[in-house]
């Protein structure tokens, strides 16, 4: 790691093991919580987060303060704060790395965010593949509780927080907050179309705030070091803070790195991922997980922050960058992604449940050389209509397809004309 | 009230109206699969997508999910919206079999309609179809999962609306499966509605499978007559046979659904044993000859004794026309009767309930859903009037609380508090609640349960009291009325809802002269020798009276027995003259349900012996006859009219018109009503001036001193106790095995245990029955179902007490030693 790159979340990360509660406290852990409980009001925390421009790191980039602020002053109790650790987006593994680095940072973030919404019941919803992380969390929650950072009347204040770990049954859609809400209530994890919003009527009809692991981990740092400090971490005006990037695909050093928001894609690949292998040139990447579009070469120098990607017609999503080189067939890559999405559809609405397998069938035909020219407009129209599905799953699922048809149309047509995959 | 423009038409709708509903009011049927008025909008199928051109939302949106707002301009014919809907249909057809000709839903399939109207004629998808294994869901529903389009209606109906949990959603993505965890008979007694709400052929009606297409059927609006609720139905006939019954939507009564007893209860009308020929001394004769012999014999008895020596006994399942005809016959000729009720007590309880149905207090079944607190006293909804349980459930879903006082282990698909109280205790508690007292008559403090009911009644805005009339005394419906009246004076909007013994018990009460007009009273007169001839009209006393031996002895004492019926009751066999009558499906008829709602059923078909019987398997089924085979039966009122005309020169026959004219002239409750042309939802009768409350009147059995021992109570079950539906073979498989229920607190000193086969020594014989022990039954009572498989008619009339030595467990010696 280059020395001048500011490290926040990974600063005290130990190689091969998690930091202990004592270690976490040594470098300022739980100071933010005691500061908050020592006299700040929920509104102060919200204001701080607003000033810091902290956007949700789970993919949707929704301002965290606004979510907290939508919990009405007179809303009923108990209120819930949910830490969304159901990291199912393909290519994304930052939450796992973070939980295995400093779990108390997340626990402290949950307690502070919970305080800001007067939520005294916390749940960490974690994907079943993260069993190790779940056990770590359970153990560290006990440690935090024994040290007085969780449980009744935290640090002698009138604020209490009961935090539990809930293992998901393991479906992509469970990461979607309304589906997660159903899952937590023991129902089928079908999404629910707001209104009501979870912050108004969430779990069992009570206000519920969902936040991603990484977002929550940022909170103690903002409280301790201030909003300006956090915003200035970013290399762009529009961004704020650092970001955990997950790099995979055709790079020499895949992995998870913490970089300032706005770090250019080219720098990410060439410096932080050790460049591409010998003989590989950049063709495209998925900038934010499987549900974002292919980012073509013309954007190779794009600054990776939410705003810039949005302007390019794409999304930063979970900042899971998958890099493809000139030898990768993007039709085959899309078939791979579509197989995943067709399988992971919850089955609630028709466009998603039936449209995705249909699209997969057409794409598979094109990839195997059975495609016909009329399949392309069919795919285009279906992809467009999938934006009228029930939740955001289907629009995300067709994002790679839509960019494939726009930016790599020639490659698609080549498959059809040559009646085979040109990469085979 | 927002105003919205849909396809250039403007309409003002109430706040909260969905765009799909607003369009419907304009006559624009936006396509739908998952949307259903009873189940609401969930936005799953996406086929109701329309284009929002102006207003707070824009673009293609689901019309079921968006409430109409001022300024909205909507196009249903917009190109983009049409293309989207076309794609939805194409997607739905990806896995749906292309075999409508062999699917029983074909012809009444919403998917078929929308596929054709949406123009999806050519299949573009070249991949394989996803397939599923089907389940055997029992005798009532056929399951074909490959046809599923995942509208979720079935699961939402089954779990959310009716509260049963054995059918639901399994799997995910396009492998989502609707069924049970494993095959088996569906537990819900409302399962048949799945066939109605499934928009395609996943759930189809099993008994009527492949009997015909919808367009083949003679299909008319009818009524269910298998309990007193009077649910609305559509009945379909083909080849002189009723083949299917479906729910007919009615806001006031049954909403969109009916129970399985009602749906499948019609098989009596084409039963193997249905008597279709007039008989004289057991031998088939022509109709005219049978009528002539009857008048001859009755004239002779009248001459020999007196007109009162001829008694007419009808029933609560007779149509109003038939009941009126018996009434006219008795008035004109001075006959005894008509009696409609089995016992004097039953008549009294019904009359008391009818008197309580004042327009300001009586609520319809539909209105129960608006209650915020429901007190059920002496009623077991699922078993006595199944659809009542669904109505109560809807109230609970809206936040109502429910308290039940009943000796039976009442089960309902909803959360409720239950006090297992004996009828005497219910009497005591209801009396205390009606009087607003904190203690009962004897000065004892009320149980916590009753005090809590009293508090909840006081705290509610819309309390509804549901009161049974089967196993309680006449004092209970009377106290229920007083309680409701008292709540009304406390500026609440109380409701009163009685259950009654039969689909036209209300009409019977209006036409009964006195509570003593009962079969029981007529039997006494036969025994005393004052009644010598009996005309039994559509009544099955052998089946329904609790003292069969006494009934048989009385009937054998008669000089003359005439029976009119459409089922082969035991009375038919012992009749001197039998005249076959038509069922509701052949003649239609008016019925007054338990809330006093007068409603009509249309004739569905002409009747006659079904082709599958006359054809005897020949193909094509042919029989060359001038007339309709097996069409001798006539409406009972017409048959009675003929008897009347024969007996009295002043009568000019008695067709339906004449009966109704007589009814509106002579019975004040029916005057000035459009009896020939009733509105769809019927007319609520105002009987407050017609019938006096039976307060103070006492059923002689009620004053019987409580004897030592356990009181035996007879009760009904959802399946297997009601006379007509008990003849439906397809329902036999869903019946629960009948057993006697005892409280766990009572069995110890009786030395019995769960599952024992016991013998009960009763007045007229010994009954063998399985024992069910529960802590949810009242102490001091045992409950016996009037089940078709039990010879319960040996119980005897009046209140019956069973002593310890009368009940014995049948155990093998070995097991006894072990226990």
Q: What is the pTM of this model?
A: 0.94
Cβ(A221)–Cβ(A104) below 8 Å? no
* H/E element, B336: strand B336-339
Contact residues, B window 65-124, toward A, CB-based 8 Å cutoff: 65, 83-84, 87-88, 91-92, 94-95, 124
Q: Which residues lie below 8 Å from residue A396, measured CB to CB, with a gap of 6+?
A: A290, A291, A292, A341
Task: Give kind and range of the element (H or E) at residue B767.
Answer: strand B765-774
Phi-psi category of residue B780: left, alpha or beta, with phi > 0 → left and psi -120 to 50 → alpha: left
pLDDT at A2: 56
What pLDDT is stored for residue B296 in this prediction? 93
N-term to C-term CA, chain A: 38
pLDDT bracket for residue B697 (50, 70, 90): very low
Tell me, yes or no, if B152 comes closer than 8 A to chain A by beta carbon: yes
Under 8 Å between Cβ of B236 and B205:
no
Taking contacts as CB-CB distances below 8 angstroms, the residues of chain B near A365 are 126
Which chain B residues in 161-190 lie under 8 Å from chain A, judged by CB atoms?
169, 171-176
What whole-number distance in Å separates Cα of residue B473 and Cα of residue B704? 12
- Which of A176, A349, A398 should we substitute to test contact with B (largest number of B Cβ atoms within 10 Å)? A349
Predicted confidence (pLDDT) per residue in B178-219, tens digit = 999 988 999 999 999 999 999 999 999 999 999 999 999 999
Q: Where are the alpha helices (DSSP H) in B667-786?
A: 729-732, 744-750
Number of neighbours of residue B369 by Cβ within 10 angstroms:
20
Test B125 with A361 for CB contact under 8 angstroms: yes
pLDDT tens for each residue of B707-730: 678 999 999 999 999 999 999 999
Q: What is the pLDDT of residue B705?
A: 54
Q: State the DSSP H helix or E strand holding residue A145, giving kind and residue range, or none if neither.
A: helix A131-146
Q: What percent of chain B has pLDDT over 70?
A: 95
Cβ within 8 Å of residue B78, ≥6 positions away: B50, B51, B53, B60
CA distance B290 to B275: 14
Using a CB–CB cutoff of 8 Å, tell me whether A339 touches chain B.
Answer: no
Residue B548's contacts (CB-CB under 8 Å, 6 or more residues apart) are B542, B764, B791, B793, B794
Look at A344 and B173 and tell me if their CB atoms are within 8 Å.
yes
Tokens for B706, please give them.
Answer: 């409580």
Quick one: closest CA in A to B67, which residue?
A195
Q: Strands across the sheet with B218-223, in order?
A: B218-223, B232-238, B241-247
Token pair belonging to B564: 């009119």
Q: Where are the alpha helices (DSSP H) in A1-130?
A: 21-26, 31-37, 42-51, 64-69, 94-101, 103-116
Chains A & B: contacts with CB separation below 8 Å: 83
Which residues lie below 8 Å from residue A15, measured CB to CB, with a gap of 6+? none
Give the largest CA-CA distance in chain B: 88
User: What CA–CA distance (Å, rounded) separates B408 from B741?
Assistant: 8
Q: What is the mean pLDDT of chain B?
A: 92
Mean pLDDT calculated for residue range A240-262: 97
State the nearest Cα–Cα gap between B123 and chain A, in angstroms: 12
Residue with more model confidence, B697 or B615: B615
Most A-contacting residue of B48, B62, B84, B91 (CB-CB within 10 A), to test interface: B91
Among the partner-chain residues A343, A349, A378, the one whose CB lies closest to the CB of B46 is A349
Residue B814 has pLDDT above 60, yes or no: no
The pLDDT, as a whole number, for residue B514 is: 75
User: What is the rounded average pLDDT of the residues B510-517?
Assistant: 80
For A423, half-sphere exposure in the C-beta direction (CA atoms, 13 angstrom radius) is 14
pLDDT of residue B648: 66
Q: Which two tokens stand for residue B269?
A: 């009308």
C-alpha dihedral, B55 to B58 to B60 to B62, nearest 10°: -50
Query: In chain B, pLDDT over 90 holds for what percent of residues?
Result: 81
Query: How do residues A101-118 score in pLDDT, each as one tens digit?
Result: 999 999 999 999 999 999
DSSP single-letter state for residue B158: I
* pLDDT recorded at residue B703: 47
State the Cα–Cα distance between residues B461 and B371, nearest whole angstrom: 8
How does B456-480 read in b/e, with b if 16+ C-beta sit within 10 Å? bbeebebbbbbbbbbbbbbbbbbbb
For residue A258, give the 3-state DSSP assignment: strand
Residues in chain B with CB shorter than 8 Å from the CB of A193 are 43, 65
**Is the predicted pLDDT of residue B818 greater than 50, yes or no?**
no
Give chain B's end-to-end CA distance (angstroms, integer): 72
Is the minimum CB–CB distance between B9 and chain A shorter than 8 Å?
no
Query: What's the pLDDT tens digit per position in A359-392?
Result: 999 999 999 999 999 999 999 999 999 999 999 9
- For residue A348, which residues of chain B lie inside 8 Å, CB to CB? 44, 152
Phi, psi dihedrals of residue B783, rounded to the nearest 5°: -115, 125
Contact B808, B769 (CB under 8 A): no
H or E, element range at B561: strand B560-565
* Chain A residues touching B95 at Cβ < 8 A: 354
Q: With bands split at pLDDT 50, 70 and 90, how would you rate the model's confidence at B544?
A: very high
The helix or strand, by DSSP H or E, that contains position B774, with its residue range, turns out to be: strand B765-774
Query: B125 and A358: CB-CB below 8 Å?
Result: yes
Comparing C-alpha atoms, which of B435, B428, B426 is closest to residue B457? B435
Put simply, whether B145 touches A (Cβ < 8 Å) is no
The b/e string for A131-150 (b: 16+ C-beta within 10 A; e otherwise) is: eebbebbeebbebbbeeebb
> Which residues partner with B141 through β-bridges?
B205
Q: What is the pLDDT at residue B798? A: 85
- Interface check for B49 against chain A (CB to CB < 8 A): the answer is yes
Query: Cβ–Cβ of B91/A342 closer than 8 Å?
Result: no
3-state secondary structure of A364: helix
> Residue B747: which pLDDT band, with cuts at 50, 70 and 90?
confident
Residue B623: pLDDT band (50, 70, 90) is low
In terms of DSSP bridges, do strands B533-537 and B560-565 run parallel, antiparallel, or are they unpaired?
parallel
Cα B331 to Cα B326, B334, B335, B341, B662: the distances in Å are: 9, 5, 7, 18, 12
As to burial, measured by CB atoms within 10 angstroms (0-12 exposed, 13-18 middle, 19+ buried), residue B558 is middle
Burial of A278 (0-12, 13-18, 19+ CB in 10 A): exposed
The reply to whether residue A349 touches residue B92, judged by beta carbons under 8 angstroms, is no
Predicted local confidence at residue B491, as pLDDT? 78
DSSP E strand stretches across B151-266: 168-170, 177-179, 203-205, 218-223, 232-238, 241-247
Q: Is A294 helix (H, G, I), strand (E, B) or coil?
A: coil
Q: How far is CA B235 from CA A390, B217, B588, in A?
A: 38, 9, 11
Across the range A227-253, mean pLDDT stands at 96
User: Residue A358: its chain B contacts at CB < 8 A?
Assistant: 91, 94, 125, 127
- Contact list, B200 vs chain A (CB under 8 Å): none
Chain B: closest CA distance from residue A138 (Å): 30
How many angstroms away from the CA of B435 is the closest CA of chain A? 39
Cβ contacts of A312-315, under 8 Å, gap ≥ 24:
A314/A287, A314/A288, A314/A399, A314/A403, A315/A59, A315/A61, A315/A287, A315/A288, A315/A291, A315/A399
At residue B89, the pLDDT reads 96
Chain A: give the shortest CA distance to residue B57, in Å: 13
Q: B172 to chain A nearest CA, in Å?
A: 5
A385 touches chain B (CB under 8 A): yes
How buried is B1 (Cβ within 10 angstroms: 0-12 exposed, 13-18 middle, 19+ buried)? exposed
Tell me the per-residue pLDDT of A10-66, one tens digit each, with 9 for 90 and over.
999 998 899 999 999 999 999 999 999 999 999 999 999 999 999 999 999 999 999
Residues contacting residue B545 through CB under 8 Å, at least 6 positions apart: B342, B343, B519, B520, B551, B793, B797
DSSP SS3 for B484: helix
């Amino acid at each position: 790691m280059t020395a001048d790159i500011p490290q926040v979340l990974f600063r005290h990360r130990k190689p091969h093991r998690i930091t202990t509660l004592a270690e976490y406290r040594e470098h300022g852990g739980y100071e933010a919580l005691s500061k908050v409980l020592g006299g700040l009001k929920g509104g102060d925390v919200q204001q701080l987060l607003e000033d810091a421009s902290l956007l949700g790191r789970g993919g949707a980039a929704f301002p965290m303060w606004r979510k907290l602020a939508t919990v009405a002053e007179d809303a009923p109790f108990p209120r819930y704060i949910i830490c969304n650790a159901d990291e199912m987006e393909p290519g994304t593994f930052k939450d796992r790395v973070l939980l295995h680095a400093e779990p108390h940072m997340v626990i402290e973030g949950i307690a502070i965010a919970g305080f800001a919404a007067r939520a005294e019941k916390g749940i960490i919803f974690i994907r079943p593949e993260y069993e190790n992380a779940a056990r770590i969390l359970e153990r560290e929650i006990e440690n935090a509780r024994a040290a007085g950072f969780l449980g009744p009347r935290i640090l002698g204040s009138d604020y209490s927080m009961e935090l539990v770990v809930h293992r998901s049954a393991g479906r992509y859609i469970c990461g979607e907050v309304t589906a997660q809400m159903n899952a937590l209530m023991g129902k089928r994890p079908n999404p629910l179309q707001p209104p009501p919003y979870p912050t108004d009527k969430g779990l069992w009809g009570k206000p519920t705030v969902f936040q991603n692991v990484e977002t929550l981990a940022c909170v103690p740092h903002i409280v301790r070091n201030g909003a300006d400090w956090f915003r200035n971490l970013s290399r762009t005006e529009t961004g704020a803070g650092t970001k955990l990037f997950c790099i995979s695909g055709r790079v020499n050093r895949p992995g998870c790195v913490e970089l300032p928001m706005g770090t250019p894609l080219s720098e990410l690949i060439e410096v932080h991922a050790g460049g591409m292998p010998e003989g590989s040139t950049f063709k495209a990447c998925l900038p934010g997980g499987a549900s974002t579009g292919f980012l073509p070469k013309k954007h190779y120098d794009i600054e990776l922050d939410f705003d810039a990607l949005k302007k390019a017609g794409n999304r930063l999503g979970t900042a899971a960058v998958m890099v493809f080189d000139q030898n990768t067939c993007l039709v085959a890559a899309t078939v791979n992604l579509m197989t995943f999405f067709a399988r992971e559809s919850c089955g609630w609405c028709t466009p998603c449940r039936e449209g995705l397998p249909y699209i997969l069938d057409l794409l598979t035909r094109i990839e195997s050389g059975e495609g016909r020219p009329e399949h392309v407009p069919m795919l285009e129209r279906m992809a467009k209509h999938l934006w009228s599905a029930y939740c955001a799953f289907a629009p995300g699922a067709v994002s790679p397809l839509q960019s494939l048809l726009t930016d790599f149309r020639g490659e698609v047509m080549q498959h059809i004309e040559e009646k085979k995959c040109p990469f085979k | 009230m927002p105003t919205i423009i849909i396809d250039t038409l403007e309409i003002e709708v109430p706040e909260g109206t969905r765009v799909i509903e607003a369009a419907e009011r304009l006559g624009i049927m936006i396509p739908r699969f998952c949307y259903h008025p009873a189940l609401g909008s969930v936005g799953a199928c996406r086929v109701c997508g329309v284009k929002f051109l102006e207003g707070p939302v824009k673009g293609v949106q689901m019309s079921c999910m968006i409430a109409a707002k001022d300024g909205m301009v909507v196009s249903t014919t917009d190109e983009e919206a049409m293309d989207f809907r076309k794609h939805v249909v194409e997607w739905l057809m990806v896995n749906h079999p292309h075999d409508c000709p062999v699917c029983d839903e074909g012809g009444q399939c919403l998917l078929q309609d929308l596929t054709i109207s949406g123009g999806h004629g050519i299949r573009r998808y070249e991949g394989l179809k996803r397939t599923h294994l089907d389940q055997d869901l029992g005798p009532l529903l056929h399951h074909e999962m490959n046809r599923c389009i995942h509208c979720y209606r079935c699961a939402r109906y089954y779990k959310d609306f009716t509260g049963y949990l054995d059918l639901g959603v399994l799997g995910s993505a396009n492998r989502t499966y609707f069924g049970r965890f494993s095959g088996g008979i569906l537990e819900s007694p409302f399962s048949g509605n799945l066939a109605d709400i499934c928009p395609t052929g996943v759930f189809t009606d099993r008994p009527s499978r492949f009997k015909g297409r919808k367009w083949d059927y003679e299909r008319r609006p009818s009524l269910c007559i298998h309990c007193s609720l009077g649910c609305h139905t559509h009945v379909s006939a083909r080849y002189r046979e009723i083949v299917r019954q479906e729910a007919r939507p009615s806001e006031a009564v049954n909403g969109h659904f009916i129970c399985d007893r009602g749906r499948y209860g019609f098989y009596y009308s084409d039963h193997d044993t249905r008597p279709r020929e007039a008989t004289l001394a057991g031998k088939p004769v022509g109709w005219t000859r049978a009528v002539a012999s009857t008048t001859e014999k009755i004239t002779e008895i009248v001459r020999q004794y007196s007109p009162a020596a001829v008694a007419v006994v009808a029933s609560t399942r007779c149509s109003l026309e038939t009941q009126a005809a018996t009434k006219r016959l008795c008035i004109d000729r001075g006959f005894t009767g008509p009696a409609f009720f089995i016992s004097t007590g039953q008549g009294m309880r019904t009359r008391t309930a009818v008197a309580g149905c004042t327009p300001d207090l009586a609520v319809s079944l539909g209105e129960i859903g608006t209650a915020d607190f429901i007190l059920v006293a002496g009623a077991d909804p699922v078993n006595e009037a199944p659809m009542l349980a669904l109505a109560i459930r809807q109230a609970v879903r809206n936040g109502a609380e429910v308290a039940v006082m009943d000796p039976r282990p009442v089960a309902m698909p909803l959360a409720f508090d239950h006090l297992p109280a004996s009828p005497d205790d219910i009497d005591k508690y209801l009396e205390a609640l009606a009087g607003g007292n904190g203690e009962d008559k004897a000065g004892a403090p009320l149980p916590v349960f009753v005090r809590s009911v009293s508090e909840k009644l006081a705290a509610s805005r819309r309390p509804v009291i549901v009161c049974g009339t089967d196993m309680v005394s006449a004092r209970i419906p009377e106290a229920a009325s007083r309680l409701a009246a008292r709540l009304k004076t406390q500026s609440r909007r109380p409701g009163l809802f009685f259950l009654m013994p039969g689909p036209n018990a209300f009409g019977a009460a209006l036409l009964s002269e006195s509570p003593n007009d009962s079969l029981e009273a007529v039997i006494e007169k036969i025994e005393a020798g004052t009644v010598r001839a009996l005309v039994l009209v559509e009544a099955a006393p052998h089946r329904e009276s609790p003292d069969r031996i006494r009934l048989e002895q009385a009937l054998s004492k008669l000089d003359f027995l005439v029976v009119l019926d459409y089922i082969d009751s035991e009375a038919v066999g012992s009749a001197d003259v039998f005249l076959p009558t038509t069922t509701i499906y052949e003649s239609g008829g008016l019925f007054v349900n338990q809330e006093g709602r007068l409603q009509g059923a249309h004739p569905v078909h002409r009747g006659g012996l079904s082709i599958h019987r006359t054809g005897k398997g020949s193909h094509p089924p042919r029989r060359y006859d001038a007339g309709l085979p097996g069409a001798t039966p006539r409406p009972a009122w017409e048959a009675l009219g003929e008897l009347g005309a024969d007996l009295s020169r002043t009568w000019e026959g008695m067709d339906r018109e004449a009966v109704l004219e007589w009814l509106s002239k002579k019975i004040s409750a029916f005057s000035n009503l459009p009896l020939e042309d009733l509105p769809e939802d019927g007319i609520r009768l105002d009987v407050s001036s017609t019938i006096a409350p039976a307060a103070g009147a006492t059923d002689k059995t009620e004053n019987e001193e409580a004897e030592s021992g356990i009181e035996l109570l007879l009760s009904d079950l959802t399946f297997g106790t009601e006379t007509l539906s008990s003849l439906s073979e397809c329902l036999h498989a869903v019946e629960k095995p009948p057993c006697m229920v005892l409280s766990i607190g009572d069995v110890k000193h009786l030395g019995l245990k769960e599952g024992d086969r016991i013998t009960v020594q009763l007045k007229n014989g010994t009954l063998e029955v399985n024992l069910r022990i529960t802590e949810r039954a009242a102490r001091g009572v045992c409950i016996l179902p009037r089940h078709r498989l039990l010879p319960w008619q040996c119980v005897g009339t009046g209140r019956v007490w069973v002593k310890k030595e009368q009940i014995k467990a049948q155990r093998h010696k070995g097991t006894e030693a072990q226990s």
